[in-house]
Structures are given as structure tokens and as C-alpha cells.
Amino acid sequence: MRREAWLALLILAPFAVGGCAYALPAAAVAYKGATKAAEASRPINDSEEYYVGRAVAARILGQYKLDQNAKLTQYVNEVGDTVARKSTRPNPFRGYHFAVLDTEEINAFACPGGTIFVTRGLIKTCKNEDQLAAVLAHEVGHVANKDGINSISQARWTQVFTAMGTEAARQYGGVAGNLVSLFEGSIDDVFKTIVVNGYSRQAEEAADAAAVTELTRAGYDPNAMVVLLTAMEAKGKGKTSGIFKTHPPTSERLAKVKAEVGPSPESKGEAIRTKRFKKMVS
């Protein structure tokens, strides 16, 4: 069985129908089938989002290597958790998890459920902790707004639950190939949105707005986002890969963020945070 199929099996385990080896009684089968059919139109819940997100993260790690600097990873998690606690969704199922990808590409990915990757190249683009916090706050905004999981076709998700009912009626003792295929399709929907096509302009603008709010609430300078986007605009001239491919023109993002961020005096802790950042990133 292909690796992706095994991932789908893993995702299915917490909420798939008929995970036992014995045949279900006819009445139970009928009930389960009817229940799944009724569930077909409901939104994806937090635990389902988490397991889909795990598979999407695994797919991303099939293309990028994890950075092995444990101290840097811990630091990124501390900064990420600081802004995440101030988001509109501070406690997703099993929490937020941040990791660094060992690539000079300038990019970041927010998987459904709270797994967030940031590349070493994007970290190096930042000049201080406040700018790193701005990057992570933007990705947290995507998770809080459920942009990743909402990219799954509703028609496909309806098929997943319908298939669950159908497979229950067949009294299977494991996960059927059709169901695995549907889940792989759901993973593909999210992966292509995050890595290949990018979110909609509206979703990116909403994530930027969320980041400004998170930064302010967490005690970071929201103007750090303006400075970072200005640097990214300069770096992105003529580039069509990484974050410059999947995001709206940086100039447009910058104009909107500037309108949302007012003048902010230098924080007393900013110098300390900058020193800490340079120690970790150098």
C-alpha cells in the first residue's frame, strides 16, 4: 500500500466506522449508515481537522527537510505560542505545533488543526523577534479562520461520510479502498491550496488583520509586520516562487496592513527580544 494510503488509514482511525473484525448486526449497520448519511452535510469537526492536518504536514515533509536545530525550534514554538494564545482560536484540538523547514526558500505553511511550518529562509528575512512573531501570527490567523480545512471540497467531504455509511452496510472489517481514496483527495485539496495555489486574496487579508490584532494583544510591535512586508517586497521583485507565488502581491498586503497599524512607540522589551532573536538565528 502506498505511503499516502497508510496516512489516510491513520486519519480515519479515530472516527471511521466498523474498525472491528466481526460483522455488525443488521440493525446496527442500518443505524450507523443512516447516521453517517445525516452527518454528511455537517462541518468538519476539530479532531477531524487535526488528523487531516497531520497528513498534510506529512505531505509537506515529503518535500522539505526539518531543521535539526532543537534550540531554534523550541524558540519558534515559544514565540508562536505567545501569539497563538491571543488569537480567536487559542486552543485547537491538541494545540499548536511549530517547526522550522531546512530550506532557504522564503515561505511558511499553516496546516489544518495547528501545525505550522516556517522556513529558515523566511526566518533569516526577519530582523528581530517581533517580525518573526508577525510571520507566525499570520499563519495562526489561517488556522484560526480554518482556511486550510475550508479548502476541502464540501462535495468531497459529503462523499467521505456517505462512503462510511456504505462501507458499514457491507460489514467490512477495515478501511475500504474507496474511503482511503476519498481521504487522499481531501488531503490533496488542502495541500494544493497551501503549497501550490495559495489562499484567496480575502483569506490572506483576513490573516494579516488577525496577525496585527494578535501582535498587539501579545505585546509585540504590530508595526513589525509593516517592516517585514517592506523587506519582503524588496526581496520579491521579479520572483515567482515560494511565498511570492502563493500570496497576493506584497505591495497590496503592505498597503492594507499600513492602514490598520497606527504609530506605535518602541516597546521596553523590544531590545531584549531582538538580542534573543539574534542569538537564536545567528
pLDDT digits (tens, 9 = 90+) for 54-88: 999 999 999 999 999 999 999 999 999 999 999 99
Q: How many helices (H) and strands (E) does the chain have?
A: 13, 3
pLDDT bracket for residue 37 (50, 70, 90): very low
Mean pLDDT of all residues in the chain? 80
Percent of the chain with pLDDT over 90: 52
Residue-wise pLDDT tens digits, 162-205: 665 554 444 444 444 555 666 788 888 899 989 888 888 899 99
**In the chain, domain spans:** 3-44+152-195, 50-148+200-281
- Indicate left, alpha or beta for 262 from its phi (over 0: left) and psi (-120 to 50: alpha): beta
- pLDDT for 222 equals 95
Pick the more confident residue, 97 or 183.
97
Residue (of 257, 221, 217, 261) closest to 90 by Cα position: 217
Residue 182 cell numbers, joined: 476519498
Per-residue pLDDT of 261-272, as tens digits, reads: 876 666 778 999
Specify the residue for cell string 485547537.
Answer: 92
Contact 66, 99 (CB under 8 A): yes
| Percentages of the chain per state (helix, strand, coil), in multiples of 5 | 60, 5, 35
210-221: pLDDT as tens digits: 999 999 999 999
- Lowest-pLDDT range of 15-24, 92-101, 226-235: 15-24
Evaluate if residue 23 carries a pLDDT over 60: no
- What is the C-alpha separation between 19 and 152, in angstroms, rounded? 25
User: Measuring CA to CA, which residue among 198, 211, 216 is closest to residue 257?
Assistant: 211
Nearest to 12 by CA among 141, 180, 232: 180
Cell numbers for 63: 518535500
Beta bridge partners of 110: 116
Is residue 114 within 8 A of residue 145, CB to CB? The reply is no
CB atoms < 10 A from the CB of 179, how many?
A: 23
Go through 38-48 and write b for each residue having 16 or more CB atoms within 10 A of its CB, e for each that does not: ebbeeebebeb
Mean pLDDT (whole number) for 105-130: 96
AA letter at 33:
G
* pLDDT of res. 247: 75
DSSP H or E run through 140: helix 129-144
DSSP 116: E
Phi, psi of 110 (to 5 degrees): -110, 105
How far apart (Å, rounded) are the C-alpha atoms in residues 6 and 120? Answer: 30
Q: How far apart are CA 7 and CA 13, in angstroms?
A: 10
**Cα angle at 9 between 7 and 10, to 5 degrees?**
65
Please check the confidence at residue 128 and state whether its pLDDT lies above 80: yes
How is residue 163 written as a grid cell? 462512503
Q: Stretch 231-245: mean pLDDT, rounded?
A: 74
What's the average model confidence in pLDDT over 226-238? Answer: 84
Quote the pLDDT of residue 41. 54
What count of residues does the chain have? 282
Report the pLDDT averaged over residues 29-56.
67
* pLDDT confidence band for 19 (50 / 70 / 90): very low
Distance CA 141, CA 240 (A): 24
Q: What does the pLDDT average to over 101-129? A: 96
Ranked by mean pLDDT, which of 17-31, 33-47, 123-137, 173-187 comes out on top? 123-137
- Tell me the DSSP string of 3-25: HHHHHHHHHHTTT-S--SSSPPP
